[in-house]
Chain A
Amino acid sequence: SQTIHQWPATLVQPVGSPLSLECTVEGTSNPNLYWYRQAAGRGLQLLFYSVGIGQISSEVPQNLSASRPQDRQFILSSKKLLLSDSGFYLCAWSVNRVSGNTIYFGEGSWLTVV
């Protein structure tokens, strides 16, 4: 069966510090990968998605970036965090086909920028 893991689960970072959230998927090949952010009590905002190694699409311009160095690894980064970057970050995957729009989420990472 397929599993998805992301880490760290929680982190508190000062403004201006870097960020790295990692996500790995097991049990499937060539998945679509996603990074979402969810502010407290709000909906899901798609940040980045990837259809393959090195292929990253950004949905929202901001000081975050994403990379996919391996087929089942997705990394969310920032060089300098802002207070507004606080939130719940979710990595997710789906089958790589047009009609495969069922998304499976990782456990999430709570980021507090202070």
Chain B
Amino acid sequence: GQSLEQPSEVTAVEGAIVQINCTYQTSGFYGLSWYQQHDGGAPTFLSYNALDGLEETGRFSSFLSRSDSYGYLLLQELQMKDSASYFCAAASGGSYIPTFGRGTSLIVHP
């Protein structure tokens, strides 16, 4: 089967940098995606890493290491509005259906 592990909660202060880790166990891995979900809202797609390395989109960056079965989402210059749940997801083994991690609740303090 497929499984993804991520911390349940991370806290940080406004303006800081935070990293949310995700480790996965899959076969025939394709890539790792990240989603953001604010309370009461639907998840929105943030980024996708198919290859090793860092992908940067504004204040958010995502990293993948296939050899380590590991990735992370990096959020810089944290803002209060970044308080949300963040999910990593991976598809593998010939299936187009991604498996989601349980989500990390990010709490940003002033």
Contact = CB atoms under 8 A, between A and B. Distances in A.
Interface of A: 32, 34, 42-44, 46, 49, 90, 94, 96-108
Given A49-B97, A105-B42, A43 B30 contact: no
B87 interface: yes
B42 A98 contact: no
A103 B45 contact: yes
B59 to A, nearest CB: 20
A107 B42 contact: yes
A49 B95 CA distance: 12
Interface stretch (B10-18, B68-76, B100-108): B100-108
8 closest pairs, A vs B, by CB? A101-B91, A43-B102, A105-B42, A108-B42, A101-B98, A44-B100, A105-B43, A99-B30
Interface residues of B, number: 24
Contacts of B100: 43-44
Contact of B44 (A43, A94, A105): A105
Interface of B: 30-31, 33, 35, 41-45, 48, 50, 87, 89-91, 94-98, 100-103
Given A43-B87, A101-B98, A103-B98, 19 more contacts: A42-B102, A42-B103, A44-B103, A94-B96, A97-B96, A98-B30, A98-B94, A98-B96, A101-B33, A101-B91, A101-B96, A101-B97, A102-B45, A103-B35, A103-B89, A105-B43, A105-B44, A106-B42, A107-B42
Contacts of B31: 99, 101
